[in-house]
């Protein structure tokens, strides 16, 4: 292992990432005529006031249905997308205070593993060159070491023997191996934070557990911190230390993994957990699945955003928005009636 990949991380405070009251709205595309006659513009409220921290070395999961804002939170957190409001601090540095050049330099420490390895790899670039790209951008001064660093990281992610894979192209290897290339490419710049956005969703079932094992092993070996996005609570259970459940741009429940899985306090979390297949049919939670689909984030329901689908909703739920409250140590939930589940 080279110095570049094992150097110590700065340890100024407990948190590598601090996200405070983050809001990200996207303007809805309208025609010029529409803009002339309408007083207000519509916005997709993709993220609508989300706060969380990630400790160094921790895996924080973000889970929720499609469209709940997971990817948007991830992209804003690593500075790929600008926030609308709120603060994002990486290693104590407020991203909004950085120039484009400073942000580009900092990005070496925040890398992404996307869902679809085929889409994120150039079909005409060899695997070695693809993995090497980040080094070329961030460490041009050490060009003579790049090949060795790439071979080293290829071995680490299981593309072994690395020399055999180095000159191959994406179409010449399996889907699982392609995802290993994407992981290697993210790790090659020696990052601190990995944003893993559904990293195994496209992989064959047979290799998913292997890829998750690999990610856990690399995290320990390379002192990584993960923001792990998934819509699948079974996957989250395998890898996350803490988990935030998202619904329509807001966190509805957040805690340590065992807390959320053992004592789910939000009806939405309870329904999501009930949908996770378990080997023992008698062990299955009897919880109704939420009715209908996730509503439109352009015009979210008033009060609790989940109320139109919630089997326990009462009048107050459509009127007052429930705030996140700590009902068990380190366990926060945003539901007016969460106490009802404390002893459930
Ligand atoms: N660039 C964009 N412009 C406009 N709307 C966007 C943009 N990116 C995301 N959105 C909208 O923001 C909302 C949240 O999207 P996001 O991709 O963050 O959800 P997600 O939880 O990652 O969903 P999925 O599980 O399908 O990946 C969606 O309604 C989406 O249509
Ligand atoms: Mg997404």
pLDDT tens readout for residues 3-12? 333 344 555 5
Task: Check if the beta carbon of residue 272 is closer than 8 Å to that of residue 63.
Answer: yes
- Residue with more model confidence, 29 or 236: 236
pLDDT at 105: 92
Which protein residue has the closest C-alpha to ligand 1 atom 30?
67
Distance CA 32, CA 113 (A): 38
Q: Answer whether 121 contacts ligand 1 (Cβ < 6 A).
A: no
pLDDT at 284: 53
Q: Answer whether 132 contacts ligand 1 (Cβ < 6 A).
A: no
Q: Percent of the chain at pLDDT above 70?
A: 91
Do the bridges between strand 85-90 and strand 59-63 make them parallel or antiparallel, or are there none, so unpaired? unpaired
> What is the average per-residue pLDDT within 74-86?
96
pLDDT at 7: 42
**Tens of pLDDT, residues 217-262:** 999 999 999 999 998 898 999 999 999 999 999 999 999 999 999 9
Residue 39 has pLDDT above 70, yes or no: no
Distances (CA, A) of 229 to 62, 151, 200, 292, 337: 5, 28, 10, 23, 27
Task: Check if the beta carbon of residue 285 is closer than 8 Å to that of residue 231.
Answer: no
Task: Check if the beta carbon of residue 82 is closer than 8 Å to that of residue 284.
Answer: no
Task: Return phi, psi of residue 14, to 5°.
Answer: -65, -30
Distance CA 52, CA 344 (A): 27
Q: Answer whether 71 contacts ligand 1 (Cβ < 6 A).
A: yes
Residue 158 has pLDDT above 90, yes or no: yes
Ligand 2: centre distance to CA 276 (Å)? 19
pLDDT at 13: 77
pLDDT at 280: 62
**Tens of pLDDT, residues 101-110:** 999 999 999 9
pLDDT level of residue 165 (50, 70, 90 thresholds): very high
Distance CA 310, CA 304 (A): 10
Which protein residue has the closest C-alpha to ligand 1 atom 28?
67
pLDDT at 292: 75
Task: Check if the beta carbon of residue 305 is closer than 8 Å to that of residue 247.
Answer: yes
**Tens of pLDDT, residues 229-241:** 998 898 999 999 9
pLDDT at 144: 95
What distance, in Å, lies between the first and last C-alpha atoms of the chain? 50
Q: Answer whether 70 contacts ligand 1 (Cβ < 6 A).
A: yes
The mean predicted confidence, pLDDT, of the chain is 90
Residue 33 has pLDDT above 80, yes or no: no
Kindly give the number of the ligand 1 atom that is closest to the alpha carbon of 297: 29
Which protein residue has the closest C-alpha to ligand 1 atom 3?
26
Q: Answer whether 249 contacts ligand 1 (Cβ < 6 A).
A: no
Ligand nearest to the CA of 72: 1
Q: Answer whether 69 contacts ligand 1 (Cβ < 6 A).
A: yes
Contacts of residue 152, defined as CB under 8 A and 6 or more positions apart, other chains included, come to 1, 2, 5, 162
């Amino acid at each position: 292992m080279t110095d570049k990949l094992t150097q110590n991380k700065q340890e100024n405070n407990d948190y590598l990432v601090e996200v405070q009251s983050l809001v990200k709205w996207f303007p809805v595309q309208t025609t010029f005529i529409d803009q002339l006659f309408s007083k207000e513009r519509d916005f997709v409220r993709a993220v609508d006031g989300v706060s969380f921290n990630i400790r160094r070395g921790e895996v924080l999961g973000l889970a929720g249905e499609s469209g709940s804002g997971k990817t948007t939170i991830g992209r804003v957190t690593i500075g790929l997308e600008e926030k609308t409001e709120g603060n994002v601090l990486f290693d104590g540095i407020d991203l909004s205070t950085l120039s484009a050049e400073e942000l580009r330099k900092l990005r070496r420490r925040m890398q992404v593993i996307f869902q679809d390895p085929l889409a994120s790899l150039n079909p005409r670039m060899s695997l070695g060159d693809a993995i090497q790209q980040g080094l070329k951008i961030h460490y041009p001064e050490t060009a003579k070491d790049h090949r060795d660093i790439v071979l080293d990281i290829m071995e680490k992610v299981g593309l072994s023997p690395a020399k055999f894979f180095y000159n191959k192209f994406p179409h010449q290897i399996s889907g699982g191996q392609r995802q290993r290339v994407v992981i290697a490419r993210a790790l090659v710049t020696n990052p601190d934070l990995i944003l893993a956005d559904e990293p195994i969703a496209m992989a064959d079932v047979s290799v998913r557990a292997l890829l998750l094992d690999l990610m856990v092993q690399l995290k320990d070996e390379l002192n990584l911190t993960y923001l792990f996005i998934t819509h699948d609570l079974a996957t989250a259970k395998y890898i996350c230390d803490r988990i935030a459940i998202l619904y329509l741009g807001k966190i509805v429940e957040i805690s340590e993994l065992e807390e959320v899985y053992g004592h789910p306090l939000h009806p939405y979390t309870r329904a999501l957990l009930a949908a996770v297949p378990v080997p023992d049919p008698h062990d299955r939670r009897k919880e109704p699945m939420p009715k209908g689909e996730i509503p439109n984030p352009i015009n979210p329901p008033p009060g609790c955003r989940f109320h139109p689908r919630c089997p326990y909703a009462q009048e107050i739920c459509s009127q007052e928005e429930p705030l996140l409250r700590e009902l068990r140590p380190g366990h926060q939930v945003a539901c007016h009636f969460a106490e009802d589940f404390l002893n459930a």
